[in-house]
């Protein structure tokens, strides 16, 4: 599918996220858009190169940074999603002219949590995905 229809989805891929990922994918498909997600095809593949290619080929992106905290005590937080979001924002700023028209949606778990972990994106419109 062409650039105009592609949506890069940057989210956790674990059993806890499946209840959120399914409606997210349904919505993207319902809007007649093409969801693009990173997948590991072989251990020899450099994953970040695949992610950069998906970002470059997508007009839209959805970044869920809600897992920027440890899931269990004594675990470290996962920073893959904020890192990939940074790649996308950089692509928008430093990419070819068509990339200046990219659109991103950033989701988080707790309102204003992003200001604690990525304060440089203050001023962005962040959606609280778990809002009641």
CA–CA separation, 121 and 42 (whole Å): 33
Strands of the sheet with 126-128, listed across from one edge? 34-36, 6-10, 60-64, 103-108, 126-128
Q: Considering all CA atoms of the chain, what is the largest pairwise distance in Å, rounded to the nearest integer? A: 45
- Top-confidence residue, 107 or 113: 107
How close are the terminal C-alpha atoms of the chain, in Å? Answer: 35
3-128, CATH topology level: Rossmann fold (3.40.50)
- Model confidence band, residue 131 (pLDDT cutoffs 50, 70, 90): very low
- How many other CB atoms are found less than 10 A from the CB of residue 52? 17
Q: What pLDDT digit, counting tens, does each position of 52-105 carry?
A: 999 999 999 999 888 777 778 888 877 888 889 989 988 888 877 666 788 988
**Average pLDDT over every residue of 38-63:** 85
Its pTM stands at 0.79
* Residue 69 to residue 78: CA distance in whole angstroms: 7
Q: Domain limits of the chain?
A: 3-128
* pLDDT value at 37 more than 60: yes
Average pLDDT of span 2-16: 91
């Amino acid at each position: 599918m062409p650039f105009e229809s592609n949506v890069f989805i940057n989210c956790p891929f674990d059993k806890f996220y499946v209840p959120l990922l399914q409606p997210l994918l349904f919505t993207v498909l319902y809007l007649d858009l093409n969801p693009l997600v990173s997948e590991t095809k072989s251990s020899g593949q450099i994953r970040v190169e695949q992610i950069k290619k998906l970002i470059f080929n997508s007009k839209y992106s959805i970044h869920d940074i809600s897992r920027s905290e440890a899931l269990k005590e004594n675990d470290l937080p996962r920073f893959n999603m904020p890192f990939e979001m940074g790649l996308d924002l950089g692509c928008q700023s430093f990419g070819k002219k068509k990339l200046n028209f990219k659109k991103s949606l950033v989701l988080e778990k707790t309102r204003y949590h992003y200001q604690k972990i990525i304060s440089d994106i203050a001023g962005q419109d962040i959606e609280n995905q778990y809002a009641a």
